[in-house]
Structure 1
Amino acid sequence: MLGLLAACSGQARADDNVTTELQALKAKLKELQQKVDSEARKTRQVDAVQAKAMPMPGTYKALPVESCAGGKVCYKGVTLTFGGWVDLTGIYRSRNIASDTGSVYNFIPYQQAHNFYVPETRFSARQSRFSVLAEGNADPDTHLAGYGEIDFEGAAQTASSVATNSFNPRMRQLSLEVDRSDLGLHFLAGQSWSLNSPGKAGIDSHGVDAPGVIDFESVPGFISARQPGLRVWQDIGPEFKLAASVENAQTAFFGGNVPTVGTPAVGPQGVLNPNLQVNLTGPGGSFFNSLNNVSLNQVPDFTVKAAWDPRLGPYKLHVEAWALYRQLFDRFNGANHTYDTGSFGGHIFAELIPKTLDLQLYGSHGVLGRFTQTPFPDAAVGQDGTVLPLTITAATVGLVWHATPSLDVYSYAGLEKAKANFANVGTTPFGYGNPLYNNTGCFTENTPAATCNGNTKEVRQVTAGIYDTIYQGNYGTLKAGVQYSYTQRLAFDGVGGAPKTDDNIVMTQIRYYPF
């Protein structure tokens, strides 16, 4: 009996031990569950904080500090890239055209002018430039970019060369770009190079494949402008892009200040009808210079462009073609008159020898006066208010030899040629390139201005130069160059003959790139 009781007592103690162990295990399990719940709460709190820190759709994502590339500045998810240079240009011209770093070829004087016999020498720092590109990602597929660029080629009345040389900063480019990588679609709004300006690859919204010369007026045959407007372009495969733009329209009429109502003008042509109006002068407070005319255009310029960048192994090739629609406009005898024009052109950049020899070709034809380097007018007017558009043919060819990694040697040849357009009223001449205009005084110094009209027919130029990298390192890049150009200005034949003139131009340049 005692044995049975002892056995029962031992069994009871065993059951108690098992119960105790189970309770201990439950307690540990509960403790672990509490820890898991606590960690889960912490995780949810961290996620909530991060969610609050993340940008709403349509804003920039914060980029990690380590993602900022060298030479760039990153701030709140926006990457800033600075560019530009400090420049000093030396200028010598055999004919004095009283111009700065850009040679206005249409003002090379004939023998009739005193300045035909006077050379021109000056220094200028006005090609110095500053730019900034701001970029960020709104989401993985949407890229935003803002670009601004200024130089010092502005010249208000206070910009005297006598003492202070206080030339004005001016807006070259200022634009916003939106790119959708998933759609291959791009959009630009603001001021940029016109779509008919040549690019070096694809549709370049900020740069231009200009002849690499020192003269700010470039080479005749290079067509370009910078205009405010809207642009959209689409990637069609990896090699082809198609673009369209609407841009601010302006018309440069022959004679410059074509009269407004009640202000007839007498020039090489007869007296224009006082009821003709083609432009206006901005009043005070209009934010236009009161000395500059604004033409009466009522629709913007429309441009379409196709660009092709085929893959040819180590060779780079870029081919593009464009077409431009412009409407010219005037008001005469109480009625509006319009004249629709079409122009076209293209550009080729090709590596003939990879990284050694480059070819640049430019060509265009149409009503392109204000886009030319001469520059030509866009149109003349008849005595009855008829708009007389001027057709321009322009072409340039250039070779750039990268002789060493630091030295470039270049040469260009270009021309811009106008087709005459005129209308006479009896024996009174009107228009541009009229053979009845008086040119008799163009060949003799100090003859009356009315005896030398000499409408420019063609401008030709050959240019050659070198550009060397003197230093490139942690403190930026220092470059220097020198170039020579020979330019001819040829006039239409008139009474007394067809005058012509020329200019020998030498330019030097030292340029420091701090970025």
Structure 2
Amino acid sequence: MPLPSLRIKRPFPLFLLCCSTLVPAAAHAQGQGPEEAEAIEAMENQISRIQEQQLELQRDLMAMRRELAQHRAHLHLAHTATATESVTRDHPSSGHGAAESRQLARTTGKPAPGPASHPPLYPGEVPAPTIGEDTPTYAAVVRHRDEDMVNRIADNNVGPHPRETAGAQAAGALGDHGVFHVGPVTVILGGFFDTSAVLENRHIASGTFNYWTAMPFPRSANYHENSFEGSPRYSRFSLMARANIDSHTTVSGFVETDFGAGAETTNPYESNAYVPRLRQAYLSYDDTQDGNHLLVGQAWSLLTPGRVGIVARQESLPETIESSMLAGQTWTRQWQARFVHDMLHHRLWLGLSIENPATIYDTTGFDNDNGTVALPNGGTATIGANGTGLTEFTTNYSDEIAPDVISKVAWDPAWGHYEAEGIVRFPHDRVFANGTGHNNTAIAGGGGASAVLPVIPHRVEIHLSGLAGVGVGRYGSVLLPDVTLNAQGKPKPLPDAQATAGIVAHPDPRIDVYGYYGMQRSGRSYFSSGGSAYGYGNPMSSNAGCEVEMSPLACTASIRSVQEFTLGAWWRFLQGRYGTVEVGTQLAYSRLQTWKGIGGAPSTSVSQIFFDFRYLPFQ
């Protein structure tokens, strides 16, 4: 049987030729003295080119191995049983034959022939090294880091995050340089060293994390004071361990942390001892042949907008410096069990997730003692309890009866990325009144959509997203309340709407420019009893003291809406084998408006300038 031709793009002597040019260059560098630095730089450039050529050779070699495996499969069909027995004697299964059987199974997708049925080598043929998932190779490592995920993504002119952009960094991008093998497991490092600062015309004491619900009114002295705060606490580190089960199935684990949490001993006067916090920690299983993907652990909520498919670490997040991102941005990071199926060549994605519930209650007008709320009819509603054991004992954890249920459909045509999602929630409490107690469960939820529009593919993008419903306030950056209580103490979900619109431009590979508008708005629910006002947005609540500094009158204003306008840019002024160093700045203006009460509808605002320096050693 004639042998099929084996093709290769570049011959192996090319690599030897490149190496031969390196030796004279090294000798020249040693003899130049004052010009040694320039010669070394030239050598490093040659090494870089040689590595690129070596990568091409590795890819060609892998292609040859696939052709060779197919050729052996044809030979196997033509050999007689006598030849097969000869192979069994001359090539035992523990040697090259077993490796070729595994390679054949990966290539053809069919069960590998038994060790006794492997065809013989031709006279003078040298067994080629096994290149596959069991043996780490330079090409395999590059394949992992170039995709940054196992999913084969359809080209939508948006594509995965450019790994060096701030949006990718926020989502948990992995590195380029920190890639190595521990046996069959690929380990990939990511993260950055960060030092950021903010100058603002109000003193909010939240640093670069905007806590909009704490924006002061003129009644507070903080309204009249400027504030500057800087910190490296949002430096971030991540690690992924990934292993290939076979040619299309992958299992991986990802963990990401920073120092954004504060402890009881944290203070800004001496140690600034902010403590590590868990951002993400999950395991995932991906089968790109059947299109099934499973994720379990803490990750960005399925409600968070994405930019390609439904893929972890490909969330569509603002490029902003502020660690709270943007008013109106839909997101949480929380425990979940997520199943995703993709079809139509990875263009249509369907996802379903159950996620950890946590309800934000508003108890304006009520007497709330650590989750025990006194009702005007003399009863008591229990909506939560302060943490104990290893949870934060000053935080109230809401009573919950079931997880949040979230579904999403994502579509990647040839132009743009589009999503639609929905959520169902179950706020829950217990009321004791008139000598008896009973539980109450309300139904809340909503729906939303998002899109990434590549106006100029990979250069200019428009980002749009929105979510509306009842009882979904906590999924927005402002953290407006989800529910209040009615006169009987039952949970009463509040209407909520949140939306963002932005434009992101990459005029140069080293520069990102962005502008965003974000908004989150809450409805109201209230009642009056015995001359007192209860509930969110009650027009009988007193806002009389909000506008006068140090006023003795009350200021119980309920937030109606928060809007933010922001503009910023990032410049990666150093990039090389050592990583990336970038600097960013951002201007932001936020305005808070309230529901009208006695004394009017006061408003407040804050103007901010952010600065940031980052070193990304693995990018």
RMSD over aligned CA atoms reads 2.6
Q: Distance in 2 between matches of 1:140 and 1:264?
A: 57
The equivalent position to 1:253 in structure 2, one of 361, 382, 393, is 361
* 1:250-270, Cα deviation, whole Å (9 max, x unpaired): 1011149973699556xxxx8
* 1:102-130, Cα deviation, whole Å (9 max, x unpaired): 11111110111111111110111111101
Structure holding more helix per residue: 2
Q: Distance in 1 between matches of 2:265 and 2:89?
A: 69
The match for 2:184 is 77
The match for 2:431 is 332
Contact 1:260 1:279 in 2 (8 A): no
1:105 is aligned to 2:177? no
**Partner of 1:429: helix, strand, or coil?**
strand
Identity of aligned residues (%): 31
Contact 2:325 2:477 in 1 (8 A): yes
State how 1:416-431 maps to structure 2 within 5 Å: 416-431=520-535
Contact 2:410 2:419 in 1 (8 A): yes
The match for 1:306 is 409
The equivalent position to 1:457 in structure 2, one of 556, 560, 568, is 560
Q: Distance in 2 between matches of 1:127 and 1:273?
A: 47
The match for 2:386 is 281
Offset at 1:180?
1.4
Distance 1:64 1:95, change over 3 A: closer
The match for 2:246 is 139
The match for 2:590 is 487
The match for 2:499 is 395
Runs (5+) with no aligned partner, structure 2: 1-83, 103-131, 143-175
**Partner of 2:533: helix, strand, or coil?**
coil
Offset at 1:422?
1.1
The match for 1:46 is 94
The match for 1:292 is 395
State how 1:349-364 maps to structure 2 within 5 Å: 349-364=452-467
* 1:373-392, Cα deviation, whole Å (9 max, x unpaired): 11201111134202221111
* 1:435-475, Cα deviation, whole Å (9 max, x unpaired): 00000011101123x61011110101110111111111011
- How many residue pairs get aligned? The number is 465
Distance 1:76 1:97, change over 3 A: same
State how 1:264-275 maps to structure 2 within 5 Å: 273=378, 275=380
Runs (5+) with no aligned partner, structure 1: 1-35, 55-59
**Partner of 2:92: helix, strand, or coil?**
helix
Contact 1:106 1:374 in 2 (8 A): yes
Q: Distance in 1 between matches of 2:616 and 2:605?
A: 34
Offset at 1:356?
2.1
Distance 1:156 1:207, change over 3 A: farther
Offset at 1:49?
11
State how 1:466-477 maps to structure 2 within 5 Å: 466-477=569-580
Higher RCO (CA < 8 A, seq sep 6+): 1
State how 1:21-420 maps to structure 2 within 5 Å: 41=89, 43-44=91-92, 46-47=94-95, 62-66=134-138, 67-69=140-142, 71=177, 72-238=179-345, 239-255=347-363, 259=368, 273=378, 275-283=380-388, 285=389, 287-312=390-415, 317-333=416-432, 334-366=437-469, 367-420=471-524
The residue type paired with residue 141 of structure 2 is C
Q: Distance in 1 between matches of 2:96 and 2:500?
A: 62
Q: Distance in 1 between matches of 2:87 and 2:488?
A: 89
Q: Distance in 1 between matches of 2:248 and 2:582?
A: 39
Q: Distance in 1 between matches of 2:614 and 2:397?
A: 36
* 1:385-407, Cα deviation, whole Å (9 max, x unpaired): 02221111111110112222211
| Range 494-503 or range 439-448, more displaced | 439-448
Q: Distance in 1 between matches of 2:209 and 2:371?
A: 36
Offset at 1:274?
5.2
Larger radius of gyration: 1
**Partner of 1:443: helix, strand, or coil?**
coil
Offset at 1:188?
0.7
Distance 1:261 1:167, change over 3 A: closer
Contact 1:262 1:274 in 2 (8 A): no
Contact 1:84 1:513 in 2 (8 A): yes
The residue type paired with residue 298 of structure 2 is Q
The residue type paired with residue 395 of structure 2 is N
The residue type paired with residue 501 of structure 2 is V
The residue type paired with residue 226 of structure 1 is R
| Range 381-390 or range 296-305, more displaced | 381-390
Offset at 1:45?
6.3
Q: Using structure 2 for the length normalisation, give the TM-score.
A: 0.71
**Partner of 2:546: helix, strand, or coil?**
helix
